[in-house]
Amino acid sequence: MTIIKAKDFTEKLSKAGHVRYTKQNASLGKYGPKNPKIISLGLGDPRPDTFIFSEVSATVANLYNKDGSSDSTDSAQTTISLSEKKSPGSLVEGLDVLLQYGDGYGVRSLLGYAKNLVKNSHCPQYEDWDVIISCGSTDGLDKATDVFLNDGDNIIVDEYTYINAIKTFEAKSYNQVSVGMDTEGMIPEELDRVCSNWQGPNPLKAIYLIPTGQNPTGTTMSLQRRKDIYSVCQKHDLIIIEDDPYYYIQFGDAPVADGETTLSPEYLSKLPGTKNLLPSMLLFDVDGRVIRLDSMSKLMAPNLRTGWITAQKRVIDIIRAHTDTTLIRANGLSMGLLSRLLLEEWKEEGFEKHVAFVQKQYVYRRNLLVKSMKERLGNMIEFSVPETGMFVWLKVNLPDEAKREGVVDELFEKMTEKNMLMIPGFLFSADQKNPNVKDIPYFRATFVYAPLEELDMAIERLETVLLEFGCKK
């Protein structure tokens, strides 16, 4: 069997990436507390016997015992705890380690879990890949871009994309180059056309993609689309930042159905669970050009601030050097509790049940919102049914007499007056000041947050607004 090594992209590194690559601190860690022969007067770590917590416990709700059709909170609970020192036989570090400083990779138990998950789920094609724990995708994106991009460098983005990505890129003075999308996300031919005709002062170096349940458009790239985009990126030698926080919230080909059907065993068997998910581009990344961002935010809870980054080892080393001097390492309590839960409490079976639970909850909500939109709004809007994630992206079909400058702001104001909220589409565009973009009546609606019984009420309010603007069903 041939062993593939990642391509060397060091000539593409940013100034900061280059410094972090060439001047990585020779680690003093090996001389530290872990070497019992050495009396350390050297390192700045406080003594663990001064740490304020000697035990931390958390109640796990085991949400998958809930009925997916209701918002009730009854559940079979279990308690997990972290003790002062690693318990004999446990895979998870004690609080003496979890609450201590450490290198940027993150605690070893969670790192090991993440590596295993990446290996089994995405089967990276080259040998020298690695993982680092992040504080979620947004943190990962900030660090991943820093590896390769300087002020004034170009980053290719979807025509509409994640607001925090736009803001991050603006603040870093990157030039955002938008590429058109269709119902499967970025169009490969468009990407090829933009790259082939590129005449800007700096070369095109990197691309930012959200392949699954794209925010804001809810689009999901099919396997073929992922492969096509990857080959265009190969052709133009682009580094790919794959932000995939909605990876586990896929609905496969489960159609829109009414409440009861949605909960039937036959319907639920159409959901992909953990085994039939559309894959990461790591699956065909023979060059090591993909930097993948995973997040626990949508699956567990956002403010655990935990996720991980997978990329070729050289890139992970640079991100580790960055983390060492900024964050130092992700939060020890979050990492420890997740490790205990994933490695020792849930194990594979519990994780699978939880993923199935989340998919069931969200598909049920998607179906409710989509049915209500179809029934109440008819031709007043256009939209595609999302197969993944949290968002429905819709365009209001305004009559000609309502098409005017500022109409999206007017619509937004009327919606909030009627106590319903959707986010205007132009806010997700890197080109949002352009009047041609600002007045296109796109909106992003999410089906995951409002109480179930209020989803239809929100659409009823929207119906009143659209009728006031002269839209026709």
Binding residues for ligand PLP (CB under 6 A): 136-138, 162, 210, 215, 243, 245, 295, 297, 302, 307
Q: Which residue has the tokens 């999901």?
A: 220
Phi/psi at 426 (5° precision): -60, -25
Q: Which two tokens stand for residue 43?
A: 């390192």
Minimum distance from residue 183 beta carbon to ligand PLP (Å):
18
- Tell me which residue of 367, 397, 391, 386 sits closest to 462, measured CA to CA: 397
- Minimum Å gap between C-beta 299 and ligand PLP is 10
Nearest distance, CB of residue 178 and ligand PLP, angstroms: 16
Q: What residues contact residue 335 under an 8 Å CB cut-off, 6+ apart?
A: 98, 106, 107, 109, 110, 133, 306
Closer to ligand PLP by CB, 56 or 249: give it.
249
In the complex, least distance from residue 114 CB atom to ligand PLP, rounded to whole angstroms: 14
Q: Which residue, 138 or 359, has its beta carbon nearer to ligand PLP?
A: 138
Least spacing, CB of residue 450 vs ligand PLP, in Å: 16
Question: Min. distance of Cβ 112 from ligand PLP in angstroms?
Answer: 20
How are beta strands 290-295 and 307-312 bridged, if at all? antiparallel
Strand 129-134: give its sheet, edge to edge: 129-134, 307-312, 290-295, 239-243, 204-209, 154-158, 175-179
Our CB check for ligand PLP shows the closer of 154 and 306 to be 306
297/372 with CB nearer ligand PLP = 297
Cβ-based nearer residue to ligand PLP, 142 or 228: 142
- Least distance in angstroms from the C-beta of 469 to ligand PLP: 29
Q: How far is 423 from 408, CA to CA, in rounded Å? A: 10
For residues 307 and 441, which CB has a smaller minimum distance to ligand PLP in the complex? 307
Distance CA 125, CA 123 (A): 6
Decide whether 154 or 219 has the Cβ nearer to ligand PLP.
Answer: 219
CB of 311 to ligand PLP, least distance (A): 16
- 224: which residues sit within 8 A by CB, 6+ positions away? none
Distances (CA, A) of 327 to 170, 323, 331: 22, 5, 9
Which residue lies nearest ligand PLP, judged by its C-beta? 136
Give the shortest CB-245-to-ligand PLP separation in angstroms. 5
The least CB distance from residue 305 to ligand PLP, in Å, is: 7
Nearer CB in complex with ligand PLP: 100/138: 138
Q: Nearer Cβ to ligand PLP, position 215 or 397?
A: 215
Cα–Cα separations (whole angstroms), residue 191 to 180, 198, 269, 289, 307? 8, 11, 36, 17, 29
Q: Are 168 and 145 in contact (CB under 8 A)?
A: yes
Q: How far is the CB of 279 from ligand PLP (least distance, A)?
A: 18
Shorter beta-carbon distance to ligand PLP: residue 100 or 161: 161
CA distance 352 to 360: 12
Q: Which among 271, 187, 178, 263 has a CA at the least distance from the CA of 224?
A: 187
Query: Of the two residues 153 and 242, which places its CB atom closer to ligand PLP in the complex?
Result: 242
